[in-house]
A and B are shown apart, each in its own frame.
Chain A
Amino acid sequence: MPDFAKALEQLRPRRSGKRRSESDNPVSSLSRQLSFLKSHLPFLPSEPSTIEGDEEVTALGRHLVIRNSCDDAHYHGKVRLGRFAIADLQRFMTLMKHSAMADNRDSIVFLDTETTGIQGGTGMVPFLVGIGYFKGDAFHTDQYFIRDFDEEPSMLLALSDILRRFNLLVTYNGMAFDVPLLETRFTMARLSSPFTNLPHLDLLPGARRLWRNGHGSCRLIALEEKIVAFLRGPDIPGGMIPQTYFDFLKGKGVSVMASVLKHNLHDIVSLAALTVCACDRVSGIPAELDDPLDVYSLARVMEHTTEWMRAVDYYELALRGELPQPFHSKARENLVVLSRRAGNHGRALSLCEDLMNHADFSMVGYESAAIHYERFEGDAHRALEIVERAMDRLKDIPTANRRWLSALQSRRDRLMEKWGQTTLAPNSEILNSVPE
């Protein structure tokens, strides 16, 4: 048996009387930051001594549930949660090409998790899982909280029971974070995962498509402010949450823990409110949007759906506004393709001309113009001319995409061959009609 006791003693920091100064102790500096934070949370009630909630008992032990609700008339930012309509969500999900569907809004569950880290792996514990759902006119939140690690199995059991009542899960970045994390925890607790047959809408990718252009960050907290217009006031930074829980386990900082609960509560309600905004955005009237970039983003969502015809109008609308570059060119390029698809060749060609005359090289502009002359006006010579003009311009652009040149080259070769044929055999239509 090795002498671990002795070896350990040598590893312990020497207690040589000299106390380490406050400043080089990260934990103490963190607690100083926390006390600063506390002093700036005026609306918090006086120092609570414990986390208030309902203690739930399950076959695997006990845990805490903190329940809240708000009625139909409650506004979160500018959003009245009560007007959340299932039809709007269905439309949003169809446009986002999401196959899952929920038939009534009471069967939707919103979920957000607070954990002991973001490092990944089996050592990361969700100590707080908040869910939100509609029941009748009210919006309810249940926050499942463990007061110590041994309460986790009980909390997971209760969570899996309640999740099985719903038909659609809505999260923000849950695809990458919350769901895999919770699945790991269910495995660790030897419980079957409630997520296996639960359709999941991760709002993050859709939110990015709608709001990334012109709004910068798409973090929930950023969109909550910009889109939902909710100002949550002093909030605990996400990076401090794990340490707050570790302190709480040591019986310290109950009030800071309470602010983590509040943070999680805001996240759930904001997620529901942002879902309402996302639905509004795709079903509302684009002309009412203030920023042409938003119209542009919407057009980009629409153009790949069955409602692509509306994208034509949205792009036109966006172009009439003051779209900044590179969105302006991009909008014109996409509109060229859509106009051609809609059979509006005149509009397509005029957009191509704008693009070709623009200072920035537009591959789509030249290619589409070449296609237009070749296919719709039967003028291979004109098409060839355009391709050669494009190749000339490309030579002076050192940063150009290499594939562009080779694509243009093969188009030129094909056109030259075709042109040769047409000049040699003007009756090409007859030749083409000969059955093979």
Chain B
Amino acid sequence: MRPKSQLVLPDAALQKPSAVPEFLTELKKNSAVSGYHFIPSREPRLVDVPKQLAPALRSVLSHRGIHQLYSHQAQAFALVEEGKNVTVVTPTASGKTLCYNLPVLQRIALNSSARALYLYPTKALTYDQLDDLMSWANELDGEVGVYSFDGDTPQDARAAVRAKGNIVLTNPDMLHKGILPHHTKWARLFENLSYIVVDELHTYRGVFGSHVANVFRRLARVCAFYGSNPQFICTSATIANPKELAEQLVAQPFELLNESGAPSAEKHVFFYNPPVVNRQLGIRRSYVNEAKKVAAAFLKRNIPTITFANSRLNTEILVRYLKAAIEVEPVPQEKVVGYRGGYLPNERRQIERGLREGRIKGVVSTNALELGIDIGSLDVAVLAGYPGTVASTWQRMGRAGRRSGMSVAVMVASSTPLDQYIVNHPEYFLSQPPERALVNPDNIHVLLNHLKCATFELPFGVEETFGGHAMADILEFLAEQKFVHRAGNKWHWTSEAYPADAVSLRSISSDNFVVVERTAGKNPAEVNRILGEVDYTSAFTTLHEKAIYLHQGQQYYVHALDVAERRAYVKQVDSDYYTDAITYTKVKALDTFDRAREHQHGEVHVAHQVVGFKKIKFFTMENVGSGELNLPVQEMHTTAYWITIPRAQFEALPFSSIDRLNGLHGLAYALAQLSAVFLMCDRRDLGAAVEFGTDADVFNPTLYIYDNFAGGIGLSRPLYEIRAEVLTAVDKLIQSCGCDAGCPSCVGPTPGAKPVARAILECVTHA
């Protein structure tokens, strides 16, 4: 057995920031560290400010102490001036915003009626950028109108935004619901629209990206109506296909700028694998606990640290653990906070401010802080679990060391096969290109909804195309459904509905659950306090009856979930356990697109249901109870790759039927994990399910890997095509795993599944 990790230095070293180098030396020696990578600092590449830059802008730049530009900023300026669409891909803190602010402000300086639309994927980012841009506008003698426009903009302020906003900062959801369907009110903007800025382009992937691509199709129609042809300036984190993604989203050619001229601080990257505590069962120490230890070691030295968790639940658990470890003075000060979707906007603004001002030292976040929100300078990023993608891992590691001279990133692996593969092969991770962002704008569910919105916005010509496709058949279909009506050579909207209301860009359903805290009190306003919001799909796993809902490290017991009213009623409790939902998934094949012996890919129906929950004790992780639940089934049509195992061969395997079922589950577990690696997608983009072959309509045991979005975003066909490679890797993973009969790092936590999984794999031809 390996020695225990030793992370605690002598007390004298505590509280002293200067101890970082020594601490890093200690860390490097730690046996749990499986890899260490040093990225040296980089010198800036500076060039002169472009000659044609308006004098007013030049003086604002020098007033801000900017006398030269980074090379990529000057290149972006030049390309935009040439009339090109540009995608800028440079690391965090490389001065990306100037790449678009400079050409936009230049145009406005030359033509005061010019307009620009800035799109940010979240409201939080909008507010972050709004402050910065407002200060530019003020320094330019207030001639430039800069406004944000979203659901929070008061009705009486909206007219001013439309009339005076040279630059309007908004999000794609608002463009979709609030601006395009009311484009006549925005005529001034659309007539003079010169630039559209799309920040954090890489977030527009999957279902969200597919929706946004259709919103851009609608935007193009509206711009054409007003006679404008805006240029696009996009910025993105590092992904494999930024140019392709931009071109798919906007349907126009782009120039790619991916060489950063910005300096960067040196970075120490550690790969940390929690020690094995039981080799036979392959059990390692809890990665959440280990991540806590690592983060606490830095925080105790007063080093600002951001910890990323992969789920809301783990975020809250880590906040609780770190608060217990750090906030220990007689009068504990709040030094560690959580940050995730579901917190109310005010609460988030306070946390961002606390971090910038240094009052808060530690923050635990989901991917909510992965994007460029300004939270000041943090020195250390601890990743509790592999984020699932290479791009996201670098993005999270990049949140440390924006301004300081040195930064540290520690990736703490969980015991899943994916994490274990990465932590044991750091060189593979470091040489791996980041993932491709996939979108499928022609997903029929998505396209149909946006075609409705488009027809609502401007009557649709019979010869007109949408995304380059003829729409005649689809419009005939919508006419059958009485949504549209043809008059002359145009299709018109004929429904009393407002079609944009029925479409949420973020998911297939647009419902949110409100979490309401009920306390004893006389005043009705105090009895029901709104704690936060949870999206429809997560609500069933986190807000079911008897669940422990965690918010800012506080526990709340859910005593009722009102599905019809979309409300969950909770009360604060102090329990020593949390709950983990048990879900049941049933997949049914509907149509086969392609088939090669046991392998198929096609369309499936997926029914997903939360059927129960486990109670798990804090710190010890003991299972201390469970309960059954009866919640609505969530259904979708999507695409899948599946393997059917010939029933006769399956039943001939020398194992009990229970073992055979466990083996099938184990194989699905490993296959889903490695499919994500080979498809270079997020693990959560894929769902896995098995069918044992007991139903009348499914004769052979079947194993499904499905696209986890209604309609599919195009993952199952490539998986079907590379199946041989993936299956070989699965075989190798199971064979080479050090455990005896199966562990979380190969076939999952079911004991005994390992030999069965291998035997099942042998029944299947790999080609």
Chain A contacts to B: CB under 8 angstroms: 1-2, 4-5, 7-8, 10-12, 27, 116-123, 125, 148-150, 183-184, 187-188, 242-243, 246, 249-250
Q: Number of residue pairs across A and B with beta carbons under 8 Å?
A: 87
Q: In the complex, A242 Cα to B494 Cα: how many Å?
A: 9
B184 touches A187 (CB 8 A): yes
Chain B residues in 8 Å Cβ range of A117: 495-498
Give B471-510 interface residues, CB cut-off 8 Å to A. 473-474, 477, 480, 482, 485, 487-488, 490, 492-500
The 10 closest A-B pairs by CB, nearest first: A123-B456, A150-B488, A7-B444, A149-B487, A123-B493, A117-B496, A121-B181, A119-B498, A184-B184, A148-B487
B458 touches A243 (CB 8 A): no
Chain A residues in 8 Å Cβ range of B492: 125, 149
Chain B residues in 8 Å Cβ range of A4: 442, 444, 447, 469, 473-474
Chain A residues in 8 Å Cβ range of B458: 122, 188
Q: B407 in the interface, Cβ–Cβ < 8 Å?
A: no
Q: A8-B474, A249-B494 are in contact. Are A122 and B184 (CB under 8 A)?
A: yes
A122 touches B485 (CB 8 A): no
Q: 9 pairs across A/B with beta carbons < 8 Å?
A: A8-B444, A11-B477, A116-B494, A119-B497, A121-B182, A122-B458, A123-B493, A125-B493, A242-B496
Q: In the complex, A84 Cα to B373 Cα: how many Å?
A: 64
Contact code string B442-458 (vs A, CB < 8 Å = 1, else 0): 10100110000001111
Chain B residues in 8 Å Cβ range of A150: 487-488, 490
Q: In the complex, A148 Cα to B487 Cα: how many Å?
A: 6
Q: B187 in the interface, Cβ–Cβ < 8 Å?
A: yes
Chain B residues in 8 Å Cβ range of A8: 444, 473-474, 477
Given A12-B477, A188-B184, A249-B485, 16 additional A-B pairs, CB 8 A: A11-B444, A11-B448, A117-B497, A117-B498, A119-B498, A121-B456, A121-B457, A121-B498, A122-B457, A149-B490, A149-B492, A184-B185, A188-B458, A242-B496, A243-B496, A246-B494
Chain A residues in 8 Å Cβ range of B473: 4-5, 8
Q: A7-B444, A11-B444, A249-B494 are in contact. Are A122 and B181 (CB under 8 A)?
A: yes
A2 touches B482 (CB 8 A): no
Give B53-100 interface residues, CB cut-off 8 Å to A. none
B498 touches A1 (CB 8 A): no
Q: B28 in the interface, Cβ–Cβ < 8 Å?
A: no
Chain B residues in 8 Å Cβ range of A246: 482, 485, 494-495
The minimal Cβ–Cβ distance linking A51 to chain B, given in whole angstroms, is 16
Chain B: CB-nearest residue to A119: B498
Chain B: CB-nearest residue to A146: B487
The minimal Cβ–Cβ distance linking B480 to chain A, given in whole angstroms, is 8
Chain A residues in 8 Å Cβ range of B496: 116-119, 242-243
Give B425-467 interface residues, CB cut-off 8 Å to A. 442, 444, 447-448, 455-459
Q: In the complex, A25 Cα to B270 Cα: how many Å?
A: 63
Q: In the complex, A149 Cα to B456 Cα: how many Å?
A: 13
The minimal Cβ–Cβ distance linking B469 to chain A, given in whole angstroms, is 7
Chain B: CB-nearest residue to A148: B487
Q: In the complex, A54 Cα to B63 Cα: how many Å?
A: 69
Q: In the complex, A1 Cα to B471 Cα: how many Å?
A: 12
Contact code string B512-555 (vs A, CB < 8 Å = 1, else 0): 00000000000000000000000000000000000000000000
Chain A residues in 8 Å Cβ range of B485: 149, 246, 249-250
The minimal Cβ–Cβ distance linking B156 to chain A, given in whole angstroms, is 13
Chain A residues in 8 Å Cβ range of B455: 123
Q: B164 in the interface, Cβ–Cβ < 8 Å?
A: no
Q: In the complex, A184 Cα to B457 Cα: how many Å?
A: 11
Chain A: CB-nearest residue to B471: A4
Chain A residues in 8 Å Cβ range of B566: none
Q: B183 in the interface, Cβ–Cβ < 8 Å?
A: yes
The minimal Cβ–Cβ distance linking A179 to chain B, given in whole angstroms, is 13
A123 touches B457 (CB 8 A): yes
Q: In the complex, A243 Cα to B496 Cα: how many Å?
A: 8
Q: A4-B473, A249-B485 are in contact. Are A122 and B490 (CB under 8 A)?
A: no
The minimal Cβ–Cβ distance linking B713 to chain A, given in whole angstroms, is 13
Q: In the complex, A246 Cα to B482 Cα: how many Å?
A: 9
A120 touches B444 (CB 8 A): no
Chain B: CB-nearest residue to A245: B494
A1 touches B469 (CB 8 A): yes
**Which one of B448, B480, B495, B637 has the greatest number of beta carbons of chain A within 10 Å?**
B495
Q: A119-B497, A119-B498 are in contact. Are A183 and B184 (CB under 8 A)?
A: yes
Q: In the complex, A8 Cα to B473 Cα: how many Å?
A: 8
Chain A: CB-nearest residue to B187: A187
The minimal Cβ–Cβ distance linking B139 to chain A, given in whole angstroms, is 35
The minimal Cβ–Cβ distance linking A77 to chain B, given in whole angstroms, is 31
Q: In the complex, A121 Cα to B501 Cα: how many Å?
A: 12
**Which one of A12, A122, A183 has the greatest number of beta carbons of chain B within 10 Å?**
A122
Contact code string B676-691 (vs A, CB < 8 Å = 1, else 0): 0000000000000000
Chain B residues in 8 Å Cβ range of A12: 477, 480
The minimal Cβ–Cβ distance linking B520 to chain A, given in whole angstroms, is 19
A122 touches B456 (CB 8 A): yes
The minimal Cβ–Cβ distance linking B243 to chain A, given in whole angstroms, is 22
Residue from B182, B448, B469 within 8 A of A122 (CB atoms): B182
The minimal Cβ–Cβ distance linking B499 to chain A, given in whole angstroms, is 7
The minimal Cβ–Cβ distance linking A185 to chain B, given in whole angstroms, is 8
Q: In the complex, A7 Cα to B443 Cα: how many Å?
A: 9
Q: In the complex, A409 Cα to B28 Cα: how many Å?
A: 68
**Which one of A117, A125, A149 has the greatest number of beta carbons of chain B within 10 Å?**
A149
Chain B residues in 8 Å Cβ range of A2: 442, 444, 469
Chain B residues in 8 Å Cβ range of A188: 184, 458
B183 touches A122 (CB 8 A): yes
Chain B residues in 8 Å Cβ range of A5: 473
The minimal Cβ–Cβ distance linking A267 to chain B, given in whole angstroms, is 19
Chain B: CB-nearest residue to A151: B487
